[in-house]
Amino acid sequence: MRPQVWGAVAGAAGAVAATGVAVGVAARKRSQIATDRRRLAKELSDGDEAPGLFPPGEPSSVTADDGIRLSCEEIEPASGQATMTVVLVHGFALDRRTWHFQRRMLAELTEPAVRVVLYDQRSHGRSERAPRESCTIEQLARDLDAVIRALAPEGPLVLVGHSMGGMTLMALAEQRPELFAERVVGVALVSTSAGEMAGAGLPGALLSRDNPLLRGVGLIARLQPKLEKGVRRVAGDLIWSITRSYAYGDRGVSPWLVDLVDTMISTNAVDALIDFVDTVGSHNRLAALPAFATCEVLVAAGEADRVIPFEHAERIAAELPDATLVRFPGVGHLPMLEQPATMDEALLDLLGRCAARRRGGLRRLRRRA
């Protein structure tokens, strides 16, 4: 038997063993976790229940340069003509529902009035599954460029990226610095990193395709999808608890917010997500950050982030001394969901600075004329 096959078999065996452990732990803990979920739900007021997505966006799709279909939404401002377009870019294993609260806040703005564009990254959410070799941050940047060219071809831009979405913005700046010099007036980098992901945050062993557990899980997901779905079902409460622990800093966070993240992750195929592991682990774009110097920049992260530690935000801010750094004490990897009011306030401040910069630029143009 060839070494590659032995590796796959070993990986699958490791995954099965891990699956057995997970199921065993789930059997012991699922009742405790389920009780915890019910308790939390009961303690919350009726007004804290999960609202529907609002306002509804106009669905559209964009074809990437390699033919992959990207699922998109466009939201026009509630009143007035938009003065800029805000593009929201979600992170790894999630989808555009990440911006649940911000879509409403942005759509209701009147000063400045903004147009909102959201989309699902390739192999995520409702976008088309992409070949493994195309699941790179470089390609994600080209996808974002395609979305901008198709849905926001003119006017000022504000780009907001979370986690892998922030890495996508950095790669786009690396590929098209002229876009940031000419059109991008604002950038928000939320819970993201400019590099050295294997050195802090997610363990380096996890961010490697050589990890036998990852390879085994991916193999099982491709060859035995029913088994993978069965494990998800049996260990559902345990997975929910792990999701809460890594997504949020507050253990008392509303259960529907955990459900939302759990649903986003579960919507994506496990082996599709594994396709992105190498590119996230090797991401290093400190050299691309100076391209943001011509923009208003917001760097925001939770101090209790267990996925990408807060030091990564501090490193980005140190490279961009004019950026605004916003700390979320006690908050995890998803400040836009865990502390939406504070996140909205930070984005409003960014948009205000972008609008002022744009007005100043227009005044200078008029004086020259």
- Span 135-186, pLDDT tens digits: 999 999 999 999 999 999 999 999 999 999 999 999 999 999 999 999 999 9
The pLDDT tens digits for 277-316 are 889 888 999 999 999 999 999 999 999 999 999 999 999 9
Q: For 87-96, how does the pLDDT look when each residue is reduced to its tens digit (9 = 90+)?
A: 999 999 999 9
What pLDDT is attached to residue 197?
72
| Residue (of 97, 48, 52) closest to 71 by Cα position | 97
The span from the CA of 56 to the CA of 49, in Å, is 19
**Residue 358: pLDDT above 80?**
no
Q: Does a cis peptide bond (omega within 30 degrees of 0) precede residue 335?
A: no
Which of the listed ranges 20-29, 247-256, 326-335 does the model predict with the highest average pLDDT?
A: 326-335
Q: Residue 16 pLDDT more than 60? A: no
- Is the separation of the CB atoms in 288 and 298 below 8 Å? no
Check residues 83 and 19 and name the one with the higher pLDDT.
Answer: 83
Computed from CA positions of residues 89, 90, 96, 100, in that sequence, does the dihedral angle turn out positive or negative? Answer: negative
pLDDT at 24: 44
pTM for the whole structure: 0.81
Task: Return d(Cα 170, Cα 149) in angstroms, integer.
Answer: 18
The CATH number that applies at residue 68 is 3.40.50.1820
Cα–chain-centroid distance for residue 235? Answer: 24
Beta-carbon count within 10 A of 294 CB: 15
Return the amino acid letter for 193: S
Total tally of structural domains belonging to the chain: 1
pLDDT tens, residue by residue, 261-277: 989 988 888 778 888 98
In this structure, what token pair is assigned to residue 280? 């996230």
Q: What is the residue range of 325's domain?
A: 3-368
Q: Are strands 69-75 and 296-302 parallel, antiparallel or unpaired?
A: unpaired
- 331: enclosing H helix or E strand: none
Give the tens place of pLDDT for each residue, 312-330.
Answer: 999 999 999 999 999 999 9
